[in-house]
Amino acid sequence: MLARGATPARCYNRRFLQSSHRTMSTTGSMDRSPALNADGADLLALVELALEEGRALGASQAEAAISMDVGLSVSARLGEVETIEYQRDRGMGVTVYFGTRKGSASTGDLGAKALRETVAKACTIAKYTAADPCAGLPDPEDLARDVPNLDLSHPWDVSPEQACEMAIACEAAAMAYDPRINNSEGAAVSTHRGLRAYGNSLGFLSAYPGTVHSISCSVLGTEGEHMERDYWYSTMRDWRELEGAISVGQRAGERTVRRLGARKLPTMKAPVLYVPDVARGLVSHFIGAIRGGSQYRRSSFLLDAAGEQVFPEWFALSERPHLPKALASAPFDHEGVATRDRELVEAGRLLGYVLSTYSARKLGLRTTGNAGGTHNLIVHGRGRDFEGMLQLMDRGLLVTELMGQGVNGVTGDYSRGAAGFWVEGGKLQYPVHEVTIAGNLKDMYRHVADVGSDIDLRGGIRIGSVLVEEMTIAGD
């Protein structure tokens, strides 16, 4: 399903590669859109127009956000280009308030007539909604006044032909890694850049650009009658910092080969070590539990936990929204509220929740600048590298992949399909598959033995490997 206002992606096979680029650059509907320029002046003018229209229709407060994104994605499988997709998405959302009555509407047409109609519909909706004393714009003092340049935009002038060559080379490197790799789910190269403009009737008006680029590969290997799959990827704001396509393919091949010969385990209780890209999920579940929405709806396994000891005393979790080039950096949140450095967990204690303006008011608190999500969470460990984490575990399961969605955000019950490696004496012994790991997140958090220094930067949560002292491993 396409996002509202999205131009349908155009897909071509390899023999139409040359003509596809010409077609994309001459599509009339794209040319009528505001320019995706660096300062967002065109989009900011449209935001101002929406706000003026809201005032003219009697709204006591109004806010509007416009986003534009363009991107190129290509995929190749078994040496042939499968898809070339060009995306150009655009859209505007408007929210108006008549006192404490709220109405919202959105459109993908950024013409002045459609914009005015959208604002009018939002105003009509507001007149029929129930009053909510917590509804409204942020307090003026919470808005961002100085918007820092976080160096988030690094456009990649890569042609479809070049991207296809990279994807084919990436997959070829994976397939050549070992003769047991005999099939592929493909390799992909993508580049996206976007611009978001936001303004409200309190006088806030700003925009900032961003880019995200990636290279990925997934291949399959066979040994006897058993088949295993694994992958690797690189993603960065700056395309110059991406891992090379050949390297990504080789890592995918290496990871696949080492999973061949996987065994099942008997059911037991044992320590579990999560590799960094998998450990990121543990923090995501934690953030979900301390979001304002989960708290005021009384649907969290960490209900009213602020001030409580939820992790060991050495554990700390920070938010750093202004890291240059980081994937989750933002100068302000989706309400224009200034983002700031903060400590979420210190000495194992939860210091506060993750709040938007609305959820903060519902809880009698103040927004933390997290409307739309968190920004660069950093988990602090005690300095052990990955080998040191294996030695600390000594005997247990190293988890490199999780399957399924068995996490209950209300009770904290946790049960996921897993694959990885069995560890004895701090050394990898053999690959493992078709097991389930289970526990309760509250207990798991309290019994985190350590967090490694092998930090993964490929996301909005920066974390090393995580060792949980004991979990149930369900196998044969």
Q: Are residues 377 and 434 in the same domain?
A: yes
Q: Are residues 246 and 355 in the same domain?
A: no
Q: Which two tokens stand for residue 376?
A: 């660069």
Q: Which of 256, 283, 309 is the last residue in one of the domains?
A: 256
Q: Are residues 146 and 11 in the same domain?
A: yes
Domain-embedded: residue 241: yes
Q: Are residues 236 and 284 in the same domain?
A: no
Q: Are residues 219 and 296 in the same domain?
A: no
Q: Spell out the SS3 assignment of 79-92.
A: CEEEEEEEEEEEEE
Domain-embedded: residue 14: yes
Domain-embedded: residue 2: no
Q: Which of 238, 256, 274 is the last residue in one of the domains?
A: 256
pLDDT tens digit sequence for 100-112: 999 999 999 999 9
Domain-embedded: residue 367: yes
Q: Tell me which residue range forms the domain holding 241.
A: 7-256
CA distances, 194 to each of 40, 80, 178 (Å): 10, 29, 39
452: closest CA among 359, 407, 387? 387
Domain-embedded: residue 1: no
Counting the structural domains of the chain, the total is 2
For the residues of 94-147, what is the DSSP string, one character each? EEEEETTEEEEEEES--SHHHHHHHHHHHHHHHTTSPP-TT-SPPPGGGB-SS-
Domain-embedded: residue 392: yes
Contacts with 410 (C-beta within 8 Å, 6 or more apart), sequence order: 299, 300, 301
Q: Are residues 348 and 459 in the same domain?
A: yes
Count of CB atoms within 10 A of residue 269's CB?
Answer: 12
Adjacent-strand bridge partners of 103: 96
Distance CA 161, CA 431 (A): 38
Side-chain-side CA neighbours of residue 349 (13 Å): 6
CB 77 within 8 A of CB 185: yes
Q: Are residues 212 and 281 in the same domain?
A: no
Q: Are residues 161 and 300 in the same domain?
A: no
Distance CA 151, CA 7 (A): 28
Q: Are residues 242 and 275 in the same domain?
A: no
Torsion sign across C-alpha atoms 319, 323, 327, 329: positive
Full-prediction pTM beyond 0.85?
yes
Domain-embedded: residue 171: yes
Q: Are residues 250 and 324 in the same domain?
A: no
Q: Are residues 57 and 141 in the same domain?
A: yes
Q: Are residues 29 and 123 in the same domain?
A: yes
Low-confidence ranges of the chain (pLDDT < 70): 1-39
CA distances, 113 to each of 117, 293, 322, 344 (Å): 6, 35, 37, 45
Distance CA 118, CA 106 (A): 6
Domain-embedded: residue 279: yes
CB 250 within 8 A of CB 377: no
pLDDT at residue 3, rounded to an integer:
34
CATH number of the CATH domain containing 104: 3.30.2290.10
Q: Which of 256, 275, 310 is the last residue in one of the domains?
A: 256
